[in-house]
Amino acid sequence: MSTSYWLAEETPALEQNRLDGRVDVAIVGGGVTGCACAHALARGGLRVRVHEARKVAEGASGRNGGFALRGGAPAYDDARRELGPERARSLWELTERALDRIESLAGDAFERTGSLRLAAEEAELAVLRAEHDALREDGFAVEWRSALGEPLRGRFFGAVFHPPDGAIQPARWVRRLAALASEAGADIREDTPVRALDELDAHAVVIATDGYTKGLVSSLDAAVQPTRGQVIVTEPLQRRLFDCPHYARHGYDYWQQTRDGRLVIGGCRDRALEEEFTAEEATTAAVQEGIEELAAELTGEPLQISHRWAGIFGTTDDRIPLAGRLPDSDRVWVACGYSGHGNVLGFACGELVAEAILGRRAPELELFEPARLL
């Protein structure tokens, strides 16, 4: 029961590709970030070794809600205010391009469904309207939905539809990305925890450990707050109710229905907000009950739960990731801190760091400069 539904899918073993001796780049972490980085570096001709403490995708990358959303953790209008209009636009455009790349690589692990952000209260409607208007003003595709169908009608006050977004089977996607990286020449070592950066025989090191960041660089441990998320999955529902990922209450509740009819639903962290700032990967009664109640209300049918699990993501103070070289280090790079929004951003940041190591630094990397928080 405490296994991720996504990770439970059978998968062929990763092809072993051993690189001996010193490599150009060692990556710590085999989630979406580490695998995207390894793929880009290996394609760029570098010798790359990935060290993953568990198996590929067994961190948050295989334990999340399966939403592939453009943008970052802050809504677009907030990002415009906090980052400035040019940088917010640049971040949103970066993630829209990343969604296109994911679509081109992920095969049947990705579906371009769009996503629906719902207002659970009248006050939230104004918040949604502000994001909708800001996106429209800047020419991004977005649709206002005031008339909602069953089972949303009467329960939610309106919604914004984001057409570029998608649904992913995240474990299948990241395992596929790892296989692509391996085919390109990367050595991906599972069950290989790194205890100190000194043990890595590599010219450069990339830390790609998001919420599981701990014990390698103390300033990073201080800047990336481990944050727990919990999810349940039901047996297939009797009806198809949801065609795309839905989220409400400022992202505290999120759910989608899989192609075989199951409800994947998570959130309710605010049932015990303080307790959920933890690195302990365990489900709790308070949050699980909240998710079950929400699932019952949304579906109106008796539910049989097949899977439940917890995962850890990394949150930063400004809810923008850290990606780039660590201050005062020639050798160590980082990409983490997506603040619960890493399926697309993790892929984008992993590639951005790889490109910079390859000597092709993209201007967008500046958006995520680690020095601002370290």
Ligand X SMILES: Cc1cc2nc3c(=O)[nH]c(=O)nc-3n(C[C@H](O)[C@H](O)[C@H](O)COP(=O)(O)OP(=O)(O)OC[C@H]3O[C@@H](n4cnc5c(N)ncnc54)[C@H](O)[C@@H]3O)c2cc1C
Contact 138, 132 (CB under 8 A): no
Residue 288 in contact with ligand X, rule: CB under 6 A: no
Q: How far is the CB of 130 from ligand X (least distance, A)?
A: 22
Binding mask 264-283 for ligand X (x = CB under 6 A): --x-----------------
Query: Footprint of ligand X on residues 213-232 (CB under 6 A)?
Result: 229, 231
Residue 181, CA atoms < 13 Å, CB-side half-sphere: 35
Buried b / exposed e across 341-374, counting CB within 10 Å, b at 16+? Answer: bbbbbbbbbbbbbbbbbbeeeeebbebbebeebb
| Beta-carbon contacts of residue 3 (< 8 Å; ≥ 6 apart) | 307, 309
| CA-wise closest residue to 166 among 62, 69, 262, 32 | 69
Among positions 65, 164, 226, 324, the unique one binding ligand X when judged by CB under 6 A: 65
What is the residue whose two structure tokens read 């400069």?
Answer: 369
Asked if 372 interacts with ligand X (CB under 6 A), we say no
Q: Is 340 in the site for ligand X (CB under 6 A)?
A: yes
Alpha helices of 7-153 — where are they, by DSSP H? 32-43, 76-83, 85-106, 122-137
Part of the chain binding ligand X (CB under 6 A), chosen from 46-54, 80-88, 118-126, 149-157? 46-54
> Should residue 313 be labelled a site residue for ligand X when binding is judged by CB under 6 A?
yes
Nearer to ligand X, 90 or 283 (CB): 283
Mapping DSSP to helix (H, G, I), strand (E, B) and coil, where does residue 39 land? helix
**Residue 290 found at the interface with ligand X (CB under 6 A):** no
Q: Nearer Cβ to ligand X, position 131 or 210?
A: 210
Task: Show the binding pattern over residues 68-107: x = contacts ligand X (CB under 6 A), - = does not.
Answer: -x--------------------------------------
Closest to 157 measured CA to CA, from 115, 116, 120, 130? 120
Contact between 343 and ligand X per CB under 6 A = yes
User: What is the C-alpha separation between 62 and 255, in angstroms, rounded?
Assistant: 16
* Of 43, 54, 145, 372, the one binding ligand X by CB under 6 A: 54
Say if CB 352 and CB 333 are below 8 A apart. no
Residues that contact ligand X, how many (by CB under 6 A): 42
How many angstroms separate the CA atoms of 198 and 78, rounded?
40
Interface with ligand X (CB under 6 A), residue from 3, 8, 17, 53: 53
Q: Report in angstroms how near the CB of residue 216 gets to ligand X at its nearest.
A: 6
63 near ligand X (CB under 6 A) = yes
Nearer to ligand X, 123 or 196 (CB): 196
Among 24, 58, 124, 131, interactor with ligand X by CB under 6 A: 58
Contact 313, 338 (CB under 8 A): yes
Provide the β-strand partners of residue 25. Answer: 48, 204
Q: Which is nearer to ligand X, 25 or 336 (CB)?
A: 336
Binding residues for ligand X (CB under 6 A):
28-34, 51-54, 58-61, 63-67, 69, 193-194, 208-212, 229, 231, 266, 311-313, 336, 338, 340-344, 346
